Amino acid sequence: MFGEEPRLQLLAVSDAAPQPRQAQLVALDKAMFEAQVAAGDDKIAWLVLGHHTLAELEPRARERVLRFVDKRPELLAYLSAHTHYADERSHKLPSGRRFRELVTGSTTDYGGPGAPQSGRIVELRSDPATGKAGIASYRLELD
């Protein structure tokens, strides 16, 4: 499995227009494969980054992304930001596995006059007994 300290890698889905293409997922799969080969016996845990939330993706694109994630249990969560409010969502994948989506308010603005700055800490964790990797997420609001 992942051992005591799994390595974390980030994958970015380019979704400025909410419809990631199959070619992007093929490129991500290739990048994941090459990183794992380079890591040797060390397992890698992945966090997927995308601008739009999964709900905002066009239906066919969302289905492609969820199928992609479902086949790769080393993908721990999807981090998005487009909505300008923080949220945590759980998605049931076709296999029945649950997949977390972490929505951060925004990665570029401060919420406007009178609104607090916000952010999110995402922590990679590993169970030493099982080697299973997971994440913990905390929302921050600054006055």
133 vs 12, more confident? 133
Ramachandran class of 60: left when φ > 0, alpha when ψ lies in -120 to 50, beta otherwise: alpha
pLDDT at 76 over 80: yes
- For residues 49, 130, 96 and 12, what is the CA-based torsion angle, rounded to 10 degrees? 10
Torsion 80-72-17-61 (CA) sign: negative
The tens digit of pLDDT for each residue in 83-131 reads 777 788 999 999 999 999 988 866 555 555 555 566 777 787 878 788 7
Determine contact, residues 88/38, Cβ cutoff 8 Å.
no
pTM of the full structure: 0.76
**Which residues are CB-neighbours of 22 under 8 A, at least 6 positions away?**
64
